[in-house]
């Protein structure tokens, strides 16, 4: 029988904040943000990175040039993909903004609550970023079409409903199994669902199309990579502290589901007409990415035959200048393998 999870009390004066006995969940914390006594040093280090990454949509200039290109230079297939992918990204960041405060209520380490709060703020900034793109790049009559693309696209509606169902399942029935599934799905959402969409914008920029939009996407991706790291560490802490909750088979099953959904959606919205992003590349890229994400959890590849990133055309976009950097998925995997989270960022 699965145990019911209990949300944190707002204030619990009968308990204490002793780090020697603290656990990441199911600990009776006082409710104070006692940040001078930290158990999870990876969270403290990640806080510094997330604060240092602070940005606002206003940082990105020249979006008006993208407006001209959207009307004159994009093919009809590229316009459709631009709209549909933006719609999905908007949904992902919207649902995370709402979801994270609920999730944080069950985390009993203030240093981890701290970075979850920053993540929620970043997700809201991402929503504002998409609004800025829509206000500048597309005609006003097209904005609602993008926000509600899922109303007329059954593939996107199916994806959105599935994500909402996973999250809602724990809210409605807060037991151990549903909580662990909730944690894993946060990890999968942050680590798999954004990235073919990101690659599409990079591909446009590689052909000098919609470069300002892609710059905005790169700032968003930099944030998302830290979010992947948050949830990979939470999963590993649960494995260490609550081995009875940890279920590797569930992780693999859910990863396989996420990969299949991402491939199906990406093939649908990108079609074969998008240069460099044929269906074979989409499938291999998604599986390659999944293997890297599982490596962060110290789990063997789910797709051992896929060992290379097929999107080689994007490698030339890498740059060591922080104002020109194109942030890639391998970055977070490499850092997460370190024994400490005192990262040295090389952009």
User: Is residue 49 in some structural domain?
Assistant: yes
Closest of 29, 163, 148 to residue 84, by C-alpha:
148
Burial zone of 242 (CB within 10 Å; 0-12 exposed, 13-18 middle, 19+ buried): middle
List active site positions: 130
| 92 inside domain | yes
pLDDT one-digit tens code per residue, 238-286: 999 999 999 999 999 999 999 999 999 999 999 766 767 888 999 999 9
What pLDDT shows up at residue 83? 96
What pLDDT does 59 receive?
83
When computed from its CA atoms, the radius of gyration of the chain, rounded to whole angstroms, is 20
For residue 228, CA distances in Å to 1, 141, 142, 187 come to 30, 35, 32, 6
- Please indicate, yes or no, if residue 3 is contained in any of the structural domains: no
315 located within any domain = yes
Q: Give the pLDDT of residue 334.
A: 37
15 within a domain of the structure (yes/no): no
Q: Tell the burial category of 321 from Cβ atoms under 10 Å away from its Cβ (0-12, 13-18, 19+).
A: exposed
- 17 within a domain of the structure (yes/no): no
Could you give the angle at which helices 248-270 and 154-172 cross, rounded to 10 degrees?
150
Number of domains in the chain: 1
Q: What is the CATH number of the domain that holds 168?
A: 1.10.620.20
Cβ(347)–Cβ(325) under 8 Å?
yes
Is the pLDDT at 141 greater than 50, yes or no? yes
Give every CB contact of residue 20 below 8 A, 6+ residues apart in sequence: none
In this predicted structure, what is the pLDDT of residue 3? Answer: 65
State which of 14-28, 76-90, 306-320 shows the largest mean pLDDT: 76-90
Q: Which of 224-228, 279-283, 342-346 has the lowest mean pLDDT?
A: 342-346
DSSP classification of residue 321: -
Q: Report how far apart, in Å, the C-alpha atoms of 196 and of each of 150, 201, 227, 291 are.
A: 18, 9, 17, 15
List the domain range (segments joined by +) for residue 156.
42-336
The predicted structure's pLDDT at residue 316: 64
With bands split at pLDDT 50, 70 and 90, how would you rate the model's confidence at 32?
A: confident
340 against 299, higher pLDDT:
299
Residue 249 in any domain: the answer is: yes
pLDDT over 80 (residue 337) = no
Task: Judge whether residue 342 has pLDDT over 50.
Answer: no
Could you tell me if residue 317 is inside a domain?
yes
- Ranked by mean pLDDT, the top range of 166-170, 183-187, 319-323, 331-335 is 183-187
pTM for the whole structure: 0.88
């Amino acid at each position: 029988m699965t145990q019911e999870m209990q949300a944190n009390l707002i204030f619990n004066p009968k308990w204490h904040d002793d780090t020697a006995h603290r656990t990441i969940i199911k600990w009776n914390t006082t409710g104070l943000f006692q940040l001078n006594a930290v158990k999870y040093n990876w969270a403290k280090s990640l806080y510094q990175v997330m604060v240092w990454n602070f940005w606002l949509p206003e940082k990105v200039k020249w979006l008006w040039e993208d407006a001209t290109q959207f009307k004159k230079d994009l093919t009809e297939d590229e316009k459709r993909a631009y709209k549909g992918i933006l719609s999905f990204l908007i949904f992902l960041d919207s649902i995370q903004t709402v979801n994270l405060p609920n999730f944080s209520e069950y985390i009993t380490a203030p240093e981890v609550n701290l970075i979850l709060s920053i993540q929620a703020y970043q997700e809201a900034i991402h929503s504002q970023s998409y609004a800025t793109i829509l206000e500048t790049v597309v005609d006003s009559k097209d904005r609602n079409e993008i926000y509600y693309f899922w109303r007329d696209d059954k593939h996107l509606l199916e994806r959105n409903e599935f994500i909402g169902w996973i999250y809602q399942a724990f809210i409605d029935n807060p037991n151990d199994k549903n909580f662990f599934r909730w944690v894993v799905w946060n990890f999968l959402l942050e680590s798999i669902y954004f990235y073919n969409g990101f690659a599409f914008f990079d591909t446009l920029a590689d052909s000098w199309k919609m470069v300002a939009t892609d710059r905005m996407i790169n700032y968003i991706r930099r944030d998302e990579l830290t979010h992947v790291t948050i949830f990979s560490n939470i999963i590993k802490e649960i494995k260490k502290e609550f081995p009875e909750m940890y279920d590797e088979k569930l992780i693999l099953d859910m990863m396989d589901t996420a990969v299949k959904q991402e491939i199906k959606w990406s093939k649908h919205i990108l079609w074969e007409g998008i240069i460099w992003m044929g269906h074979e590349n989409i499938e291999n890229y998604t599986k390659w990415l999944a293997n890297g994400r599982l490596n962060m959890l110290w789990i063997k590849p789910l797709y051992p035959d896929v060992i290379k990133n097929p999107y080689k055309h994007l490698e030339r976009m890498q740059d060591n200048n922080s104002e020109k950097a194109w942030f890639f998925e391998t970055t977070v995997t490499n850092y997460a393998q370190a024994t400490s989270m005192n990262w040295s960022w090389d952009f």
